[in-house]
């Protein structure tokens, strides 16, 4: 499983599957091959939800946002 963290505080946000990670990688722009940080916001997560993204991933990201407008997340294996 892939672990997600708040990139700023290192707070563990949860686990995602390889398929969910692949979705994030396809949706987000990576600056390099070693770039494991992504910037998300509530509008982006809503767009993914409306496009049919995995409901469990959407739930995790919304929980991670916890009322914030945006968040930097980081993944690790």
Domain that holds residue 29: 2-76
* Cα atoms found within 13 Å of the Cα of residue 33, Cβ hemisphere only: 0
Question: Domain total for the chain?
Answer: 1
User: Phi then psi for 22, rounded to 5 degrees?
Assistant: -60, -40
In the chain, DSSP finds a helix count (H) and a strand count (E) of 3, 4
pTM here is 0.89
pLDDT tens string for the chain (77 positions)?
A: 999 999 999 999 999 999 999 999 999 876 555 668 999 999 999 999 999 999 999 999 999 999 899 999 999 99
């Amino acid at each position: 499983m892939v672990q997600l963290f708040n990139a700023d505080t290192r707070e563990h946000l949860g686990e995602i599957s390889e398929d969910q990670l692949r979705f994030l990688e396809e949706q987000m722009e990576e600056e390099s091959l070693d770039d494991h940080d992504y910037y998300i916001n509530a509008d982006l997560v809503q767009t993914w939800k409306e496009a049919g993204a995995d409901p469990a991933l959407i739930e995790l990201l919304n929980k991670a946002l916890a009322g914030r407008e945006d968040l930097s997340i980081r993944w690790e294996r």
